[in-house]
Amino acid sequence: MKKLNLIFISAAILFLCKGSAAAGGLWGPPQSVSREAGGLHTGIGYGYDQDKYKNDTEHVIRQNQVYSHLGYGARTWEIYGRLGVSELKISDAFRSSQSSTTTSKNDFKDQWSLFGTLGAKGFYPFHKNFGMGAFVQGTYFFSDFSDQVSGTQNGAPFSAELKVKNFWDVNFGLGFQATIPNDIKMYLGPYLYYSEAKTSPSAKISGIESTARDMTLKNKAIGGGFAGVDVPIAKGFHLNVEGKYSEMFSVGAAITFSY
């Protein structure tokens, strides 16, 4: 068992140091942080998410997210919901491909939009210190993101607004968990995900790909790997740190309290 624990610790460190995640926060350890007999737990979390999305061209989307968490579970299962806010940055959304069109900036950026997340997980213990679980999680943004760009086209000034709406994602993954001394849980595994958003410009500006027409942005990759650690820090309190990698690296942390 000591050898198995060392393998999990080493693999988790490699994942976290190598370091994409979907919106909605951490997935957490396969086993619920609720009391084994069943109970509620609450928490607050932060996530830095980045991933590559594509339509006709490729863009990097980055988000800073903060959220509150409410879950109910027992030793082998859990359901939870989250409510949070997130910013959105899209690299090169306003970059011009024509010398006759100049823009005031290249990147799209908007501040906090409200999102909601629902998730569920199941856990099967092979041993008191080792088990396997699965999870499913989905997130939807209730409000649109928007940003404006100005510039000149053939010497004439212009101004346009780009909206990002109907942004959502769904994730499914498998996790392997080892419990080491002091009830520290190390975990890792693969995941699959799908995410999309609609973009809608207020005006069509020649040379700016994102304003050419209404488009659908979709994640470039369909899966990746994740690893994390859950550490008891006081009676009822846990600290969870997690990293995920697909096209890019994302990381987050959360503090939970079990009642």
* Per-residue pLDDT tens over the stretch 144-196: 999 999 999 999 999 999 999 999 999 999 999 999 999 999 999 999 999 99
Report the pLDDT value the prediction gives residue 56, as an integer from 0 to 100.
Answer: 75
d(CA 191, CA 220): 14
Report the pLDDT value the prediction gives residue 121, as an integer from 0 to 100.
Answer: 97
With CA atoms as reference, report the closest residue to 243 among 26, 11, 10: 26
Q: Which residues of the chain have pLDDT under 50?
A: 1-21
Q: Give the chain's domains with CATH numbers.
A: 2-258 (2.40.128)
With CA atoms as reference, report the closest residue to 252 among 8, 11, 19: 19
List, in order, residues 6 or more apart from 179 with CB less than 8 Å away: 128, 129, 130, 185, 186
Report the pLDDT value the prediction gives residue 23, as an integer from 0 to 100.
Answer: 67
Report the pLDDT value the prediction gives residue 211, as an integer from 0 to 100.
Answer: 87
